[in-house]
Amino acid sequence: MELKCPLTIEEQLDKLQSHGIIIDNVDEAKVFLQMVSYYRLTGYILHFRKKIHLIVILHQNTYFSEIIKIYDFDLKLRSLIRQYIEINEVYYKTHISNVFLH
């Protein structure tokens, strides 16, 4: 199995642009990629793909800032869900332990 070589931030930006993504704020994109990386971000780019015959391309005017908004929304949603999962986890663990006590 061949492993992918890590890309520098500049190479990540170049790769995004080569796929048709418009980097509307280069400084913001660099900071974001330093925290998240290209490879994690690629899953969020899938929403912007379209298939023409057998060729997969991105929709025109796909902006990096829009991808960041989707990533941020997903981050907040996962955090919210995690919070309620934990509340339920504590409740059910307590309930189960109380049932076994009797």
| pLDDT band at residue 44 using 50, 70 and 90 as cut-offs | confident
Mean pLDDT of 8-23: 90
Distance CA 48, CA 6 (A): 24
List, in sequence order, every residue forming a beta bridge with 63; answer none if it has no partner.
22
Q: With left for phi above 0 and alpha for psi between -120 and 50, is residue 73 left, alpha or beta? A: alpha
Tokens 């969020």 locate to 44
CA–chain centroid gap for 8, Å, is 19
Tokens 């076994």 locate to 100
Kindly report whether the global pTM for this prediction surpasses the value 0.85: no
For the chain, give the mean pLDDT.
Answer: 86
| Cβ–Cβ < 8 Å for 72, 41 | no
pLDDT higher than 90, residue 79: yes
